[in-house]
Chains A and B, each alone.
Chain A
Amino acid sequence: MAAEPELFLREAARRGFSELEIAVSQVERFRAEISGNTIKPVSAGSRTVYGLRGVIGRRVGGLSVSDLAVGVEDVLRDLERVVRNSPEDPHWPGFPPRIHRGNRAETYSREFDELGPEKAVELAGLIVEEALEEGRSVGADKTYVVNAYVELARINMRVVNTNGVDIVEKCSVFSSSGSVKSVFSGVESTYHFLIGGRRVEEDGLGERVRQAVSHTRLFANPSTPESGVYELVLTPRVFGEVLTYVVAPAVSGLNILEGRSPLRGRVGLDVFDERITIRDDPLLPLHYGSRSFDDEGVGVMAKTVFGKGVFKTPLTNYYVSKRLNTEATGNGFRSVPGVSTTPSPTNLVVEGGSGGLEEFVRDMRRGVVVYSTIGGWMSNFVAGQVYFTVTHGLLVESGSVKPVKSFVVTGNIFDWLGGKLVAVGSDLEPNFNIVSPSIYIREALVSGD
């Protein structure tokens, strides 16, 4: 196929489509993996995907094609079959017109022009070297990288529609995560690291790997705390995960519109403590979620989602903005080309307060500090209910600090960031598309021994 969008537009007009949107995504990616300190396997891949959404009257349908042997006519014939068999969407507002806001985000790092699989291998080598060196410095008998990956990707996107949108966006993506293990006098201890952005962050990667190895000492020989009510401190990474799983879906305009969000009807009202301010900022240079346009080609803008505890605005794509009778915020993103967009954050940034982990731990009487969790993605945003199981935590009790694991922490996000909020830290840390500090909460439920 490898066709220009203009060809699709011409053929669509001939077939009687009233509107058409074409999103073309070309991705080249290089990935090196590590297993037990050994770099393997390494892969390279390139993929072009055409996403088409067609409209006839108010009937809408989509097609995603990455079979490049298929012709334009065949693709539009298939799309027409989907569209003509779809029922009408009474709310269909059309594809967005050209909405440029003059904001241009830095989304591509030029160093990616020259990068290939050898750079991914070099960075994987750096992970192993840093881990081994830090292992020696923390006095481990043995340290190794259990598993990890480094991925580098170049992405070109073009979005064109019949209403005047024609945008091109070029993005680079660097991401890495993994786990390291140390052995101290026969006792094994593991910890994880992760990092992601739009530039290659060699120094940041090395620092995260060293910190992970250092944490293997901190979390060796964990126990499980007794069930009960505890003070709770979340590290920046864990607080960021809670925001992703519970707050981000709740501020989606679609979920609000369709009765799936606890924030329905609460724009302009206090929902959190006044120390909570959260912005959606697509313009942070070379951050993981930075974009100039969303996946519908709408120009992005920075916006305050929660200002001093007040819910200011839901995130919207064009469809939702029209139904809510608000401005499209440029947050229409999709998992694969060809499906409809849903409102999602770009970069969520929490405004810092004062203090940080050390101060919070010092102030605690009986609490847990959570460094790493599993299962947080199963939290119930509809009810505002947070759940996660702690794999790496510290129990602070009567001045003593000891490692703990394998217990469930639950609570309600509106309580945690409302009446139960003790403090918001100033120690902001970026983790993929979230920039968040540590946070101190007066009480949470712990299910342990």
Chain B
Amino acid sequence: MSLDLESWVKKGEELGAEYVDARYQEHVYEILVLDNGVLREAAVSRSRGVGFRVFYKGYQGYASTNDLSPGSVKRALEEAFKIARALEGRSKPVRLAERAGYRDKIISIYAIEPLEVDLSEKVELLKSIHSSLREEKALSSILLRYGFERDRRILASSRGDYVDFTRRMIGVGGVLVAQVEGSMERLSHGESRVGGWEFVKYFDWFRYFRENAELVVGAAKAKRLPPGRYDVVLDNEMVGLLIHEAFGHASEADIAVSGGSVLEGKVGSPVASELVSIVDDGRVEGGVYVPYDDEGTPKRKVYLVEKGVFRGFINNLETATHYNAEPTGNGRVMGYPDTILVRQTNTYLEPGDWDPYEIIQDTRRGVYVKGRGAMGGEVDPATGSFTFTGGPSFLVEGGEVRGMVRGVMLAGNILETLRNVDAVGFDLEVKTSVFGGCGKGDQIVRVGDGGPHVRVRGVAIGG
């Protein structure tokens, strides 16, 4: 990289700024889409740019450019300073939390660089999967995807931070559509990891997609669940969605500072069953790897909830000052042009001591909600309402898994639903995705989530 970020930070200080941080990003995204056997998409996106955040008397301005010529970078830095200065008297000054400066260089672990693997090998994999799925005649559409992302971010700041971090993520996914006697159903799902081509090479995709095909064909024949409240057993992926939506967002301190979280004023209060402990951690097997956030703060493991009690918010440098708390390393951006928000990294529910099979056996009547085919979730942290969907799921009767039902939508309230957790399994699993992420303030960032199997009593479900 030819851009000397630290010298640009100094130039910002010379303009009169009390604090400057510069975020440089090199981003590569490779996508292949095989649509019913025809390669619909073979594209690579390469972007590079720099964004500045400048503080003047506590007022902050952001500006960015992807033209890295000295003149253009200088204009962006001056624009950020100009915006910060113009906000004097029109905004409220803020102070960033004090901490030591960090200098580090980290590259996430990988064995085989995916960009060096021939494109034809990747296409061949998708074609083989497609051929194997064609044997299932009920599938009316098979769309397969391969995705790879290499994201290098360098952060330099007035505090002396210089953090250079590169992460590789890779995955394969697909959307299968089944048509059975005029009834259509779809299943969209994928598997991703932080790593290189070795993950794709050694994963048993044929078995994985065969299972997905069986699920979607079964769902097309299945009935819809009558609306109502049910006891639910959630699998690992569904617990991840529940925790991320039902608790994670409301614990983001910027939402709370703005007055938009139902958790404001609840630190130290019981908010969930005693069986529930929720963690946000940037270094978890299977999850997204976030050793530092985009402000250069090391990401540390944080308990949002410990044995049912709300322990505190996740913070960036600004909200940590507001709450007089330690920065937790959750200041993140989608890309170099974006403004710092408080975001989750990997949010998961800690395992308990139930065998997942025993949870089913112990459930007299309910629904076993599965994550394969789940579309995601959404929350309104101000009202406390949250919702998420599950994939094709199963009725539970007399402690046994019975017939399949089509995908369902679940809804609840942040301050009520987690109080109704009465069984937590020991089978922790955390996942992430290279195909999507979590959206907030028009920014999407990669996240991970998960947990063990969990039972929740009395959840509203629509089918």
Contact = CB atoms under 8 A, between A and B. Distances in A.
Interface in B321-372: 337-340
B260 A66 contact: no
Interface residues of B, number: 96
B228 A262 contact: no
B409 A66 contact: no
B66 interface: yes
Given A35-B254, A69-B68, A387-B389, A227 B379 contact: no
Given A149-B441, A260-B177, A445-B462, A340 B40 contact: yes
B46 A391 contact: no
A447 B177 CA distance: 26
A35 B257 contact: yes
A149 B442 contact: yes
Given A125-B90, A147-B258, A382-B184, A66 B46 contact: yes
A90 interface: yes
Contact of A82 (B40, B42, B83): B42
B141 interface: yes
A46 interface: yes
B121 to A, nearest CB: 9
Nearest to A65: B46
Contacts of A35: 254, 257-258
B51 A45 contact: yes
A121 B337 contact: no
B411 interface: yes
Given A405-B385, A408-B461, A63 B46 contact: yes
A68 interface: yes
Given A33-B339, A82-B44, A445-B462, A41 B61 contact: yes
Contact of B259 (A68, A181, A377, A410): A181
B16 interface: no
Nearest to A412: B224
Nearest to A43: B62
B460 A227 contact: yes
Given A47-B49, A147-B258, A68 B67 contact: yes
Interface stretch (B31-39, B151-159, B194-202, B279-287): B31-39
A449 interface: yes
B339 A41 contact: yes
A391 B49 contact: no
Given A39-B91, A90-B38, A260-B186, A64 B46 contact: yes
A375 B260 contact: no
A336 B462 CA distance: 35
Nearest to B462: A408
A68 B36 CA distance: 36
A447 B383 CA distance: 18
Contacts of B106: none
Contact of A260 (B68, B175, B380): B175
Contacts of A133: none
A407 interface: yes
Nearest to B92: A38
B227 A408 contact: yes
Contacts of A391: 380, 383, 385
A40, A63, A224, A262: residue with the most chain B Cβ atoms closer than 10 Å:
A40
Interface of B: 2, 26, 31, 35-36, 38-49, 51, 53, 59-69, 76, 79-80, 83, 86-87, 90-92, 94, 118-120, 123, 127, 140-141, 143, 175, 177, 179, 183-186, 224, 227-229, 254-255, 257-260, 337-340, 375-380, 382-389, 406-407, 409-413, 441-442, 460-463
Which 6 A-B pairs give the minimum distances between C-beta atoms? Answer: A408-B462, A62-B43, A43-B62, A389-B387, A85-B119, A259-B140
25 contacts: A40-B60, A41-B340, A42-B91, A43-B83, A45-B64, A47-B65, A49-B47, A60-B42, A69-B68, A83-B42, A87-B120, A125-B90, A228-B227, A258-B35, A259-B141, A378-B375, A378-B376, A378-B378, A380-B407, A383-B406, A389-B385, A405-B383, A406-B411, A445-B462, A447-B461
